Structures are given as C-alpha cells and as structure tokens.
Chain A
C-alpha cells in the first residue's frame, strides 16, 4: 500500500464522455503531479501543483483539466478524449518543490481506455 491513492484503477470512456480521475495523498506533502505513461514511450509529466497552485503545464491539450482543491487531493478532469489518450495515468506527490533531495512517491495509477 502506498501513501498515494488513485481512483478509479480502471476506466473505460467514450470520446464524448466526461469523467474524472482522483488522487489523494496521505503523506503530508505539498506538491502533487500528474504523469502519463503510454506503451513504448517515456513517462510524460503533465501537471505540477505546489500548495494548490499550478506551477507547470507541459503543453497538455485542454481536454485534460487538472484541479487541486487542497494539498492532499488532485483531480484530472477528462472530456472529449481521443483513443490515443488511452494510457496509464500516474499521480505522485513530494514533500515540496525546490527542495534538495526531493523525492516523488507514486500512486498505483489509473488505466484509461478511450473507445
């Protein structure tokens, strides 16, 4: 069991659906991340939040919309996705940003299939 919990673990959605991925961290961390992991491709950083403020958005399409209501929770709202968005979406957290030796801890991931 990790200190970062993601739900749902599996999600199948149509291209016209709206769904959300949820992440909760129980580690008392101040920074949270969304990563995308596709087959045969390196891990891609999508968004970074620090103390509920978005600090990085790596050219992610607007059909992905993050939300960080507090430092323990992170959402990824999904709408009008494409089949190529099918991937494992990993949430992570770290104690803070700009911290020497900063370490990120990952959740189990949410498998997304867009049909």
Chain B
C-alpha cells in the first residue's frame, strides 16, 4: 500500500531564507513522487516529479527535491524564498501501476517580508 505524510501543516519563513517542506512516503514498490503547488483560488500546478531516474530532481521556480530511499523521504527545498512562493504544497505518491495517486494533507507556506 502507498501513503504519504507531510510532516508540517504550516511552515513560515522570511523572504530570502531557505525553504524546507518535508514529506515521507510509504510504498511497496518503487514509487513515483510528485510535488504540486496550489496558490489561492487556483488549481494544483506540478512543481517536479521523481520517476526512478536521478535522485535529485529540479523543478520550476527554483525548487528541487531529493529522493532518499533509505529514509523514505522526498523533501522539497528552495535556497531563497520569494513572496510569490506563499501557497499550499502537496506531496503525492503514485502506485506502481500508475493509476492511483495518494495525496498528502498539504503544507501551507507563509513567506514573511
């Protein structure tokens, strides 16, 4: 069975400081992992995805995530937060057959000027 846990429901950072959003997953198979961002009153936008290639994945807007199998983690990072990064972030794991997607409960990121 697959599941995903986002360890923080809310993260607050100052503009210009690093961002770390944590995600742990559980999967019986080699998973595909995703991060999505949702700005207020918008749909979910794909930030990046891991599908068993390089373990360090680069996404849009300067975000990246590292797949660590030994720690079953897929944390999202960004070196320097921007005000426009304030949004809800979702970590997602898919089943091995590619037809099931398991969403985390989301992490709300606040960026303080």
Q: A-side interface residues toward B, CB under 8 Å?
A: 2, 4, 6, 31, 42-43, 45, 48, 55, 90, 92, 96-109, 111
Contact = CB atoms under 8 A, between A and B. Distances in A.
B113 interface: no
B70 interface: no
Contacts, number: 55
A55 B99 CA distance: 10
Contact of A101 (B41, B42, B90, B98): B98
A2 B90 CA distance: 18
A97 B99 contact: yes
A97 to B, nearest CB: 4
Nearest to B98: A102
A45 B90 CA distance: 15
Contacts of A100: 32, 51, 96, 98
